[in-house]
Amino acid sequence: MVTSNRCYFPLPTEHWRNRWVQSTNDSRFGHFRLSSGKFYGHKEKDKGLQTTQNGRFYAISARFKPFSNKGKTLVIQYTVKHEQKMDCGGGYIKVFPADVDQKNLNGKSQYYIMFGPDICGFDIKKVHVILHFKNQYHENKKLIRCKVDGFTHLYTLILRPDLSYDVKIDGQSIESGSIEYDWNLTSLRKETSSAESNDWEQTKDNKAQDWEKHFLDASASKQSDWNGELDGDWPAPMLQKPPYQDGLKPEGIDRDIWLHQKMKNTNYLTQYDLSEFDNIGAIGLELWQVRSGTIFDNFLITDDEEYADNFGKATWGETKGPEREMDAIQAKEEMKKAREEEEEELLSGKMNGREHYFNRFHRRNEL
């Protein structure tokens, strides 16, 4: 933890296990290793947590000094690389409260925020943005597309005190708006409407009681010896029993106007602190993967958008180009090797000319 609520989780060291705790909730959970993958921009800087076993659930987390983002912007950022060309599995992270049980971390562990890509087949290729409030999980109702290639990508989520948000991929904003409008909050609106109605009934009852106790006698006249300058405003006498009975409402109280004004003045959603979390204390990976090989790196939590932007440029921004260059070189070398092997088989009679032609055509299309 550094100043201004900035939490960074450096990984290029063999001592990463001292900070990251593997869950022992299930003996079948998959294991992580530290790796920069088969291709990379920098062998050491690009090392991250890589999933290693196919068809497994994974659960690992790192703790930090708890803090609250009340009244401050919250930025969550990390890089993810689906080197195996993900077919079905998660690439998202979760932010947990400080009291999370790391040794028993599992799918039922409460989290504050779930953010990042999720891919499965042709249908699911999205970025999850799930927030926890009012004891429920609420997901952004917009379809936010994720990256599906095998390169490293930078994912950033920004939550601001004014309830605005921004989702960035590779430093570019791909979705933004208001939490109030872009999350499914129907249940909260129903609860609020019910609560406001109860407030109305209570207010109406109180008004009725006040009405019965303090009814102005409009027919009374000011005393002849009353001196306004010396005695102040003349208090007109009040009647004890007003003409308010048989189910009639006190005059001057309109329910619809009262509810509208109350909701307008109080902003019904701010009371739920939709972007505020009091006890942020851990970050982790809790997900499922059919094919392993994903690498997670450059985890950052901060309240400074500019700092996060500069951090992304100094990490992912420095190695993204060289990573693609290395991948391209390896692809050409693999093609060359495959071609040479085919030619040898053709000369030795193990492959006929038709098969050789088909393979060359297929490789040319891949390039």
Q: Which tens digits make up the pLDDT trace of 314-329?
A: 999 999 999 999 999 9
Contact 118, 90 (CB under 8 A): yes
The answer to whether 286 is a known ligand-binding residue is yes
CB atoms within 10 A of CB 188: 20
Q: Which residue has the higher pLDDT, 1 or 242?
A: 242
What confidence score (pLDDT) does residue 344 get? 75
User: Does 165 carry a binding-site annotation?
Assistant: no
Residue 279 has pLDDT above 70, yes or no: yes
Report the range out of 129-138, 151-160, 196-205, 330-339 with the highest average pLDDT: 151-160
Residue range 248-268, pLDDT digits in tens: 444 444 554 444 445 444 444
Please report the pLDDT score of residue 12 as a whole number: 58
Dist CA 83 CA 293 (whole Å): 6
CATH fold label, 6-189+274-324: Jelly Rolls (2.60.120)
- pLDDT range class, residue 350, cuts 50, 70, 90: low
- Is a pLDDT exceeding 60 seen at residue 309? yes
Q: Is 366 annotated as a binding residue?
A: no
**What are residue 175's phi and psi, to 5 degrees?**
-160, 140
Q: Residues 336-359: what's their mean pLDDT?
A: 68
Q: Residue range 329-355: average pLDDT?
A: 76
Q: Does the structure show a pLDDT above 70 at 240?
A: no
pLDDT at 112 over 90: yes
Task: Identify the weakest region by mean pLDDT among 6-10, 19-23, 99-103, 189-193.
Answer: 189-193
Q: What is the mean pLDDT of the chain?
A: 81
For the chain, give the longest Cα–Cα distance: 130
94 annotated to a ligand binding site: yes
* 111 has binding-site annotation: yes
What pLDDT is attached to residue 195? 54
